[in-house]
Structure 1
Amino acid sequence: MEQSIKRNSFIIGLIGAAITFSIYIYMWQAQDYLNSLVNTSIYIYPIILGVIAQVWARFVMKGNVSFKQVILAYFICIVMVFLTESITYYTLLNYVDVNAKEILLNAWRGISEQGTSDLAQTKVFKEPTFSFSEFALGFATKSLMFTVPGLITGLVISKIPQVNQVNTTHKVQD
């Protein structure tokens, strides 16, 4: 039965990967890299899809699911999403549209200049280079950070008591 959890989580992860790929292709085509609504959605739907994978795992196992199984379902799903994000974004910025880097760097510089004050003139964050190592680190960091909501929802989903369905007939008294 654990194989069906893996397979179903992989399928939900592929759906998330397709959504991710579509969002980044839209951002590239529309040159809309700084759209806050789109950038916010990138961090919301992976959690939703991961929880769907957990609930689906519980459904497949007929309510008898372990914490390990629901975490596995969640993790497979978000890894698929963030792997697709890293590969797509890296490819777009480094091979397809290298001019997009300048848009993002200018936005980054504008944000970092707004955040500096007289007291803190030191540069804490280095300017992004959009290298493979940065995208790999971003993938690993996001995968680990987004596991925390999965741990919380996994605890809830795995601990919901299983409802035994018993057919009983009730006589209606007049």
Structure 2
Amino acid sequence: MTTTETPGADTVRPRWGAERIGNAIFAAVVFGLGVFALVGAFAIRVPAGQAIGPQVFPFAVAVILLGSGAALVISALRGQVAPREEGEDIDPDAKTDWWTILKLVALLVAVLLLLELLGWWMVAALLFGGVAWTLGAKRPWVAFLVGLVIGIGTQLLFGEGLGLFLPRGAAFDWWYGPGPLFG
């Protein structure tokens, strides 16, 4: 009689330690974002007579987030923990840099608060440059300029080219005048 060994049958699942709890929290956040995106996609009003409306992309993002979140939740509940990264420039014992995370969260909150006042193109520059500065860019002013180009480019592409609404900023109403540009 021969015995066959099942791979992984004798492996011990890890207890609910910090890594496993962290994976479960991340999985729940991804799944929650998927639910949030799905609810938001249903809230988008579609003009009558459009076969493909503005809901398509949000629904696709919601499905991807829900699927990824569900897979992550299942793997976290099964105890499958991602292996620690190894490499010559990675310190596995490094602590979380909460100051950097706080600055990034503050930048996102600032974007939400300043979007209507400054407009998309200016807020995009602030976000792009601010994130580069927070993450240690050697020349953050270049990142601000790149963000400004990206902000103006997306404003022109989506606002003017596709007719989608991107706020131009109440602070700059005196500059725009009555013309359609950035309106």
TM-score normalised by structure 2 residue count: 0.23
Q: Which has the higher contact order (CA 8 A, sep 6+)?
A: 1
Higher Cα Rg, which structure? 2
TM-score normalised by structure 1 residue count: 0.24
